[in-house]
Amino acid sequence: MIIDKITITSFKVYFSNEGIMSPNLDIYDNEFGSTVLAETERYDRGAIRRCFDPLVNPSYGKDGVRTLYEAFRRGSSINPLGPCLGFRATSTNGFPTPYIYCSYTEILARVDALAAGLETLNLIEPNEDGLKVIVLYLKNCMEWTITEYATFSIGGITVPMYDTLGPSTVGFIFNETGSKTVVCTRAEIKAVCEAKKTGDCPKLKYGVIVNGITEDVVSMASDAGIELLSLSQVEATGVQRITTKGHKHSPPSAKDIATFSYTSGTTGNPKGALLTHENFISAMSGTDIFFKSDMTDRHLSYLPLAHIFERVVLSGMLAAGGSVAFYRGNPLWLVEDLQACRPTIFPAAPRVLNKIYDKIMAGMTAAGGMKKKLFDSALAAKREGLKQGFLTHALYDRLIFNKIKKALGLDCVRILVSGSAPLSDNVMIFYRCLLGVPVVEGYGQTEGTAAATLGHPDDIVTVGHVGGPTGATEIVLMNVPEMGYMQTDKEHHGKPCQGRGEICVRGPNVFIGYYKNEEKTKEAIDEEGWLHSGDIGLWTMEGSLQIIDRKKNIFKLSIGEYVAPEKIENIIGESALIGQSFVYGDSFQNSLVGIIIPDEEPAMHWANSKGEPLAKLSFSELCKTAQLKDAIMNDIKVLSRKNGLHGFEIAKEVHLDSNLFTEENGLATPTFKLKRQKLRDYYQSEITNMYARMPPPKSKL
């Protein structure tokens, strides 16, 4: 592919050769943590660390393939008649059917037909940089995946967008990428048309609708200057082309760009991270030493496919010949879809896990009596068993936990991987007890193709960390003297550690740069090839990585102390009563305040336990009461002290609101990151009132 016109800095793929195949140069922390490369420590950073197995080095291929195009065809070759992609239809009585799967052979035929149709109709053409891009703007579904692999078949590049994006962001991405075609459903075409009408995306000409074209949609698109085609129409054109003339593929090479992954920026426009096929395959290969998928595995795709974590999991599943089922697009139906799919591998975001956890715990509290006592006894017994290295319990699994697992559709899960945000220790331990299988955390970012570290499945005892480097990465901690984090540090909040600093990642999974943004690329990757994450971490005594702070989003209070709000929000988020939080402060104030969105179900159970009049209030009414505010403030103080926060890091006032921070109201990104400036502006009057109720800050003079 032609990439010489892209305004990014060209970086070599770095990976040091120090210590390779040389056990005498390596220091073993433990069997689950990391391996230290001897004599790689410098004055400004700690030693380089790699996978716990010192003989594992990054692989640029996986199972004989080096591109996603080849990976899917490998899955098809080893399991041609096996279930590939599945969906649930609505039956005549209005209820969803079981999952209906198409075989690999059937999906491959659709991929080839769509590839021929896209090329025949000239729906994918090179942009000004010679890149053949197509935008995918829809929820997870079979057609999403079929389109991506069809695009790869003709040397194209996908540009996924979250289905919740607004017209301004949609227009920006269309304009920057120069795509002439978008694949979407009728639900997203309105935002596409609005973006087109602004004049910001003149090259956009075609919309391919995957769920049928209606008269009103045609009228809307026509007014905006967009021609609509149905996906079936494009496939039919491809079938005719293959039947009459044949169609030759132009597959990508390992170094070619596979996708533009637009990071959901908390401020300004998103940045398009350029990820290659080699990035994906290396990331997938790097996790094989932790767990490996095969053709018997099932995966339920519900985390947004625009998020790189989900893309890597789905790609690995298809490369192994496993099956992928797609949820119906509504989070409220997720448990029903889990029951129908019964996945064997379950990647999850803490937000989902916390919701299920809260519901189970609230249900047990409401049940009370002997049922609650038996559940508590079972949980205590399994927690004690974990300390001894046992995941299962002969009695309590049969009496309690297996029934809950089956009700959740998680009775076939063999490993649960949590990512994208921290998972509290008590929730992780709970899921280990409930499922009786390895529950681990992973860490990574879009720019590193999601795979930096992963907890070892055999480590069922330790919590509070994200594991060690995968087989594709090496990691160092860089000194951050302005925040007091140094690679020479020996303790953190009274507990021993092996150095602290900014987490930096290097390896073949690291992206090649941001599209048309050389300045941000240079900020992200230094001259030695290290990807700077902006996250602060420490090495535990066992050699695992623990995330403790954030280099960005820090501010200074009037007393001269620096505050990292994300660290505080993660800590107070352990309260069952807190669903979301926004901690705020600035250089004109000497203390912090917070906006708290209570978790509705636990909050309502709490109110019921207090009796009247609280038990009769609606959720929005409850959020206005002093009693709930006092209970939440008490949790904040207890958790803050328990986690070693300083007095200035504890919010002195909070305001409760019943409305969640969401992408729809502009207060959060699609991956639930807070848009802090928007939140500050939105709650400015509440912030002003909270500070007005406090003593004024003391002058430094």
Confidence of residue 480 (pLDDT cuts 50, 70, 90): very high
Q: Does CATH number 3.40.190.10 belong to domain 555-692? A: no
Which residue in the block uniquely carries the two structure tokens 């595995």? 297
Map residue 454 onto helix, strand or coil: strand
Interacting residues of 222 by C-beta distance below 8 A, sequence separation 6+: none
Q: Does the pLDDT of residue 12 top 80, yes or no?
A: no
Of the two residues 700 and 71, the one the predictor is more confident about is 71
**Residue 21 pLDDT:** 33
**Residue 406 pLDDT:** 96
**Residue 13 pLDDT:** 44
**Residue 264 pLDDT:** 62
**Residue 267 pLDDT:** 55
Share of the chain above pLDDT 90, in %: 72
Q: Does the pLDDT of residue 515 top 50, yes or no?
A: yes
pLDDT tens digits along 136-188: 999 999 999 999 999 999 999 999 998 877 788 889 999 999 999 999 999 99
With helix as H, strand as E and coil as C, how does 591-617 read? CCEEEEEECHHHHHHHHHHCCCCHHHC
Q: What mean pLDDT is predicted for residues 573-598?
A: 90
Q: What mean pLDDT is predicted for residues 76-83?
A: 97
Map residue 139 onto helix, strand or coil: coil
Q: Which DSSP symbol is given to 694?
A: S
**Residue 699 pLDDT:** 42
Q: Does the pLDDT of residue 18 top 60, yes or no?
A: no
pTM as predicted? 0.84
Q: Does the pLDDT of residue 259 top 60, yes or no?
A: yes
510, with CB counted inside 10 A (0-12, 13-18, 19+), is: buried
Q: Does the pLDDT of residue 24 top 70, yes or no?
A: no
Longest dimension (CA), the chain: 86
Ranges 26-35, 387-396, 509-518: which has the least confidence: 26-35
**Residue 15 pLDDT:** 52
Q: Where are the domains of the chain?
A: 68-339, 555-692
Q: Does the pLDDT of residue 4 top 50, yes or no?
A: no
Map residue 640 onto helix, strand or coil: helix
Cα(556)–Cα(592) distance, integer angstroms: 11
Q: Does CATH number 3.40.1360.10 belong to domain 68-339? A: no
Confidence of residue 665 (pLDDT cuts 50, 70, 90): confident
Q: What mean pLDDT is predicted for residues 201-219?
A: 94
Map residue 348 onto helix, strand or coil: strand
Q: Does the pLDDT of residue 251 top 70, yes or no?
A: yes
pLDDT tens digits along 113-139: 999 999 999 999 999 999 999 999 999
> Crossing angle of helices 68-78/142-153, nearest 10°?
110
